[in-house]
Amino acid sequence: MKPEAFELLRHAEMSWWYEARAHVVKNILDEKRISGSILDLGCGFGGMQPFLKAYGNVFGIEPNMEAAKICRERGYQNVFSNIQEVAESGLRFDLIGAFDSLEHIQDDAALLASLKPIMKENGSLLINVPAYPSLWSSHDVQHEHYRRYTAASLEKLLEANGYRVVYIGYWNFILFPLFALSRLIGVGGESSMSSTMLNGIFRLILKTEVRCIPRFALPFGSSVIALAVLR
């Protein structure tokens, strides 16, 4: 990821979008009663740690040294540079979370295969990714994405690589028309994240929406989230 995009990620932790994603994750973990040892794959500056720590000991993978240092300061049990380091440690996880990291990997199938040896027998994989290839924009280029997904394409990818999908659906459904329009005309979401007023409005809207997840699979949205287990 480009340095300027990485810095945007740091500021995004306080945004309506980041908070909504965290609550979607929490709702799924609560509904499915998942807890134990957790690996946060591509943990960035550690923004998910305050939410994940309620479910168990949280470890991370983050190749950026500055971000990894901040993650350790925030309470991650350990932050590895790559999956190979995790495998060599002998650790195995009840849950691996890939929260907007899979789209940064050129060979996503190979990554999914590499996670299986570090998951416990009944381990879970929780993935959030950006939705719809048709909404590819300068935002994706800036953040060095390789692709966007649909629920169908993500489910097919997981099933083809040894996982069974337990839940899959979209979120950011209510605001999706605004999101899609902004992407199509080439406007990023940074302005809404930096505006106190918009943050408040969007936070309230998404707070209502995420209560539905995972009891219902929303038909579309700006992100796809999936929970899968090893077959």
In which band, very low, low, confident or very high, does the pLDDT at 4 lie, cut at 50, 70 and 90? Answer: low
211: region left, alpha or beta (phi > 0 left; psi from -120 to 50 alpha): alpha
Residue 149, CA distances (Å) to 14, 42, 99, 134, 145 in order: 25, 18, 14, 10, 11
Question: How far is Cα 205 from Cα 102, in angstroms, rounded to an integer?
Answer: 27
User: Do 39 and 76 meet the contact criterion of CB atoms below 8 Å apart?
Assistant: no
Q: What digits encode the pLDDT tens for the residues 114-173?
A: 999 999 999 999 999 999 999 998 889 888 999 999 999 999 999 999 999 999 999 999
pLDDT for residue 9? 67
Q: What is the pLDDT of residue 6?
A: 59
The DSSP secondary structure of 81-107, one letter per residue, reads: SSHHHHHHHT--EEEEEEES-GGG-S-
* Residue 17 C-alpha from the chain's centroid: 11
pLDDT digits (tens, 9 = 90+) for 40-70: 999 999 999 999 999 999 999 999 999 999 9
Token pair of 126 as six digits: 């929780």
Domain ranges of the chain: 3-230
Domain 3-230: give its CATH superfamily: Vaccinia Virus protein VP39 (3.40.50.150)
